[in-house]
Amino acid sequence: MTDATDVSDRLDGRVAIVSGSGRGIGSATARHLCRLGARVAVTDRDGDAARAVAAELVDAGHQALGLTCDVSDGASVAEAVDATARHFGGIDLLDHNAAWTDFRTDLGAEDVDLATWDKVLATNATGGLLLVRSVLPLMRARGGGSIVLISSGSASIGEHRRVAYGVSKAAVEQLMRHVATRYGRDGIRCNAVAPGFILTDTAARGVSETGRARLAEQNPLGRLGTPEDIAHAVGFLLSDRASFINGQVLRVDGGLIVSPRLAGAD
């Protein structure tokens, strides 16, 4: 049995690829993994944003690479994964953070725009599959690895809107369970983090100040989540501290999903 004192949450020398890390939760995660010692590929559909985050990290003394990657496009994913492996010598860690929805058109089952449905599933669910299948051989060649897929509380509750988003995140969780079950014997762990309402720049623009205040008041902890809250959870699950955690959903929502006061915002 491994002595618990020998287990570290450090990621020194390991190579991580983080999708959707040009801003928000993804960029906070890329920064946090670098602080833990990882070498990080910052990838985003907005390549300029990814390269800006990577440049900031390099200027701070970290090892980072900024890449354009549209996770819904298999060729784009393969190119980003290959570029990461060539630059850093392999891949040990994956955080699939990229996600998309459109609040105006991701509605109920009768009303959801089918083009929106297709794009949400392609980005959130298929994007996760494309990334996972691309990194698995590289992780196996390194003797193992760790994967975190970003889910959502929407995967586990009923909502009046966002049917495509909820379905896509439920698919993400099932993908996680499949990978954990099928590839654990290869030394590859897979888990999911399910955030609650996280105050990113996008969320701040999309929800009124009154709505944000109401959401904070409804949360058992009395506040909204931050991108760093999610980044810290991802860093833990990717680290050796979580070496016996596999196939699990870690809810990082302040207890919102278990609160009887769960409700929407303006």
| DSSP per-residue letters across the chain | ---GGG--S--TT-EEEETT-SSHHHHHHHHHHHHTT-EEEEEESSHHHHHHHHHHHHHTT--EEEEE--TT-HHHHHHHHHHHHHHHSS--EEEE------TTT---TTT--HHHHHHHHIIIIIHHHHHHHHHHHHHHHTT-EEEEEE--GGGTS--SS-HHHHHHHHHHHHHHHHHHHHHGGGTEEEEEEEE-SB--HHHHHHS-HHHHHHHHHHSTTSS-B-HHHHHHHHHHHHSGGGTT--S-EEEESTTGGG-TT-----
Structure confidence at residue 5 as a pLDDT band (50, 70, 90):
low
pLDDT digits 0-9 by tens, 149-159: 999 999 888 88
Looking at the chain, the whole-number percentage of residues with pLDDT higher than 90 is 83
pLDDT digits 0-9 by tens, 201-260: 877 777 888 988 998 999 999 999 999 999 999 999 999 999 999 999 999 999 988 886
Q: Return the CATH fold of 10-254.
A: Rossmann fold (3.40.50)
Structure confidence at residue 264 as a pLDDT band (50, 70, 90):
very low
Indicate which residues carry an active-site annotation.
165
